[in-house]
Each structure stands twice: as C-alpha cells, then as structure tokens.
Amino acid sequence: MALDLESSMSFSEFPDDVQLNILSFLRPIEISAFACTCHRFAALCSPSSPSTDLWLALCERRWGSKTELRRWSAIPSPRFYKTLDRWEQLIGFWRRIGSGIPGTPPLVFFEWSPSCMIGSRISPSTFAASYAVRKVPFLWLGLSAAGETLSYLHPDNPLSDSDVIPVTISFMGCNHFVVEETRSFCMDPNMDDSEEVLAVEAGSPPDRVMSEIYQYFANRTSPGAEKSLRRQRKKKEKERLGRRRWEAEHFVKISNYFPTPARPLQGLWKVIGISEDMSLEFYLVTHDDVGGIACRRVGDSAEPFSGYSPVFWTSNTTFLESPFSKEERAIYSMKEHIGSVGLVHCNMDRELVSRILCINCSYDLVLPDLAGSSGDPRNVEGRIWEYEDGTFGFGFLRNNFIIDLKHIALDGYVLDNVESSHPTHHVA
C-alpha cells in the first residue's frame, strides 16, 4: 500500500504526550534551538509551568533509573538538568590528596540516593580477616525548592543536625574538586567583610557616623595606609579562619576503577595479606601508556611515599593459556591462599586456574641492593592466577602464599558493605 503523503501529520499535530516523548531524546542545546522555530514551541520548551513536563521527561529519561526525581525538592528545569549533569561527574571513587582530618579515610565513593546525591568515606571494617568495608556518609548534595544547590557535610560521629556544616563544592576540571566550608557560614554576621564600602548602621548617632567616616578616609589617605589596610585584612582573615569548623579538602577522581573484558585486572581491589598484621587494604591496578600494568596501594597521600612503589608490575600483559607447563603447575601446587584463613570458599571454580600472568615485585625497582634480590630472579618474580569464576590471586616465587584480589565495587555498588550507624540525611 503506497504511503499517502497528503495524510501525513506534522509534529505540531501530534498529541502533547507524544511530542514530549520525542523531545525527551534531545539534548538541552537542541531543545533551545527547537524552541526558536515558533512561539508555540517556545512556550512548550519554556522552563516555566506548565511545560515543566518536558524537563521532567528529559531528567526521567537520563536519571530516572538512578534516583527518584519527584522526591527532589526542586522542580525539573534547565537549571535542575544542568546541576544534575554536573554532579553526575562525581559518581564513582575519588581519593583525597593533601592533608585532611586525622583518621579519616582517603577513599570516597559517590552515588545517587532517592532524593539527593551522597558521598561516603570507604574504609576497612574492624572485623579480623574480613573483606567487609564500612561506608559512612559524610557529604550530601541536593537542591532547594528554588533550584539552588544545597551541600552539607558531617565530619564526625554520631550524626546530628547541629553538627552539619554547609559547604561549597568547586570543580577544577573533570577530575578534581574541592570541598570548602561555605564562607557566609563561618563569617561573623556582625563583621563587615567589605573593604571598599563603609557600613553605617541605620539610626547611628551623627557624631558616630562622622567619626567612622573620618577614620575610614584617614586610613585610606594617610601615610602607611596600605600597610594598615593589609593588617586589617589579615586580622579579619585570621578571625574568619578561627571560626572555621572544616578545612578545605581536595579530591581527585580514580578513573577506571572497575575491570573490563579487555582489561580484567584493571580497577580497585581489596587485599588481605600484604601487611604483616593481615589487615584489609585497598589497591589500584592501572594500565600505563605502553601496555604494562602496575598495582599500588590507595593510601593517605599525606603519608611519606604512600602508594609510591608498586606491589607488582609487568610490561607484558600476555596471559599464559591452558594447558600449563609442569613447572607452572608445580609453582601453583606448592602455594596456599592467605585469605582462606577464617574464610569459607563456596565456589569450587575458585581453585581452577584458567590463565596465568607473569609479574615482578617492586623490590627490584626501589631496593636494588636488597640482599639476594639481584642474584636470584625468584626473589622478584611472581604470578597472577585467573580462576574460572573470574577472580584473581597473586604471589611471588620467594614464598608459598597466594594473596586474593576481591572487587571493592561492582555495577556501581560497594560490595560487602557493613551498614553504617548513620541515618539517611535528607537535603531539603
């Protein structure tokens, strides 16, 4: 049957719900261009009511599966969309750089919640020989009814509204942001912050006003006025900093924190057995620009040499495939899993090795004069074993142990999370 061109419908003849559904596939810049075509479409795409259905449809299509947009305080609008688009860059893991509050974990994880975005500090649990982690919320990002950003931070335990600190999130590119206490919050409301305008209280006696004016202009024109002003500014800044409850913290993004089919070792891992106290630690396996890989500890950057030397590395990422040589089978058969102490492995595929990768430890890089390291290559050579269930373990030829690698997160969720005692904080 031939298509009757005379009976075809124009876009303006579609029902409103069909139009909104079609427009929800566009980007905001494309919607702005579409709104310029005629007055009717300009009204349809306007952020003012009742056309907020369009921006709700746009937000629902992009973030509806991640958060409950109707529970956010703000009404969907171009400003709402732009804010969520910016905050979406926070999703995932970040690492604090520089100094921070002593005792606070450097690893941070951001995720969507039903009515806001939440940043949590990730740290090992207190359970011995356990891969469980603690996820403690400390930062909440939301919107007011007027669409203004509201960011609150809680540094201590337990959570109480009186301890919540308003903060400002400042992005420095896509991979770096700063958390600072909101300036107006730490300022004395009775203190004038302006240096160019003289503040005069309403109803001040005339002689007081004249005295203040004379003192102001005298300081501005008298010899040494600049030094006097600098001293006043330093004094004000010192008083302001003395009222701060939170020092600024810098965070950098941990890119590629999850493995991919092409790079199965890539990402953040939980490890037990590297430290002598058998504590749980976090390690990051990264690929370099020349095709090699390296594994380093994710520690506090304020600690000397934290995460500097790799635990293992290799410039050749080609796996040995089955069947394995007699020597490789002997190397594996003599080793035992450190993490198996106190833990139960239910998966029988855990012991079936599918591939092997040859690695080196870090000692030959940072301690070349270590006794015996340069004479016997077995002191620096190691293996990574990939099992049938997709997990990994690694070890070195100088000992008989295998250290297991466990995922810290999968599909956007932190694994083995021990529930925090903090209640959910709603940003209104």
- Chain-wide mean pLDDT for the chain? 76
To which H or E segment does residue 407 belong?
strand 401-407
pTM of the full structure = 0.74
Q: Both 313 and 401 in a single domain?
A: yes
Does any domain span residue 57? yes
Cα gap 251→119, rounded to integer Å: 12
Within 13 A of 115's CA, how many CA atoms are on the CB side? Answer: 12
Question: DSSP alpha helices (H): ranges in 183-325?
Answer: 183-186, 206-221, 225-242
Q: 87: which strand partners?
A: none
Which region among 15-24, 82-91, 131-140, 314-323 has the lowest average model confidence (pLDDT)?
15-24
Report the Cα–Cα distance between both ends of the chain, in Å, rounded. Answer: 57
CA-closest candidate to residue 62, choices 112, 110, 137: 112
Mean pLDDT, residues 383-405 taken together:
90
| Together in a domain, 363 and 406 | yes
Q: Is residue 73 part of a domain?
A: no
Euclidean distance between CA atoms 247 and 346, whole angstroms: 46
β-pairing verdict for 401-407 and 336-337: parallel
Please list, in sequence order, all residues whose beta carbon lies within 8 angstroms of the beta carbon of residue 210, skipping any fewer than 6 positions away: none
Residue type, 348: M
234-239 average pLDDT score: 56
> 146 and 59: one domain?
no
Same domain, 46 and 177: no
**Is residue 118 very low, low, confident or very high in pLDDT (cuts 50, 70, 90)?**
very high
Query: How are the residues of the chain apportioned to helix, strand and coil, as percentages rounded to the nearest 5?
Result: 30, 25, 45
Lowest-pLDDT choice from 184-188, 308-312, 384-388, 402-406: 184-188
CB 291 within 8 A of CB 272: no
Residue 187 pLDDT: 47
| Residues 240, 187 contacting (CB under 8 angstroms) | yes
Whether residues 326 and 262 fall in one domain: yes
Q: What is the rounded CA–CA span in Å between residue 385 and residue 312?
A: 13
Task: Give the pLDDT confidence score for residue 203 in this predicted structure.
Answer: 40
Kindly state whether residues 348 and 302 are assigned to the same domain.
yes
Alpha-carbon distances of 59 from 41, 52, 63, 67, 270, rounded to whole Å = 19, 11, 6, 10, 35
Residues 23 and 56 in one domain: yes
Q: How confident is the model at residue 398 (pLDDT cuts 50, 70, 90)?
A: confident
Go through 1-23 and write b for each residue having 16 or more CB atoms within 10 A of its CB, e for each that does not.
eeeeeeeeeeeeeeeeeebbeeb
Note whether residue 372 is domain-resident: yes
CA dist., res. 378 & res. 380, Å (int) = 5
Q: Quick check: is 296 in a domain?
A: yes
Per-residue tokens: 340: 């198996």
- Residue 158: cis peptide before it, omega within 30 degrees of 0: yes
Angle at 145 between CA 142 and CA 151, to 5 degrees: 25
- SS3 (DSSP) at 16: helix
CA distances (Å), 242 to each of 102, 186, 245, 310, in order? 19, 9, 8, 40
pLDDT band at 87 (very low <50, low <70, confident <90, very high): very high
Judge whether residue 358 has pLDDT over 50. yes
| 273 and 382 together in one domain | yes
Structural domain contains residue 244: no
- Examine the pLDDT at 102 and tell me if it is beyond 50: yes
Does residue 235 belong to any structural domain of this protein?
no
DSSP state, residue 423: P
Number of Cβ atoms within 10 Å of the Cβ of 309:
15
> Could you tell me the pLDDT band of residue 230, with boundaries at 50, 70 and 90?
low
Q: Is 280 contained in some domain?
A: yes
Q: Is the pLDDT assigned to residue 204 strictly greater than 50?
A: no
Average pLDDT over residues 171-193: 70
Q: Are residues 27 and 91 in the same domain?
A: no
Q: Are residues 264 and 388 in the same domain?
A: yes
Q: Based on the fold, state whether residues 134 and 29 are members of the same structural domain.
A: no
User: Are residues 401 and 264 part of one domain?
Assistant: yes
| Model confidence pLDDT, tens digit, residues 243-265 | 556 688 999 999 888 898 889 99
Give the residues across from 361 on adjacent strands: 312
Q: Which domain range does residue 390 map to?
A: 256-414
- Tell me the backbone φ, ψ of residue 386, rounded to 5 degrees: -100, 130
Cα distances (Å, whole numbers) of residue 29 to 6, 32, 64, 82: 32, 5, 20, 11
Give, to the nearest 10 degrees, the angle between helix 78-87 and helix 52-63: 20
**In the predicted model, is pLDDT for residue 149 greater than 80?**
yes
Angle subtended at Cα 164 by Cα 143 and Cα 136, rounded to the nearest 5 degrees: 90
Task: Give the percent of the chain with pLDDT over 70.
Answer: 68
More reliable by pLDDT, 205 or 76: 76
pLDDT at 135 over 50: yes
Higher pLDDT, 233 or 356: 356
Domain contains 270: yes
- Last residue of a domain, which of 146, 181, 216? 181
Number of domains present in the structure of the chain: 3
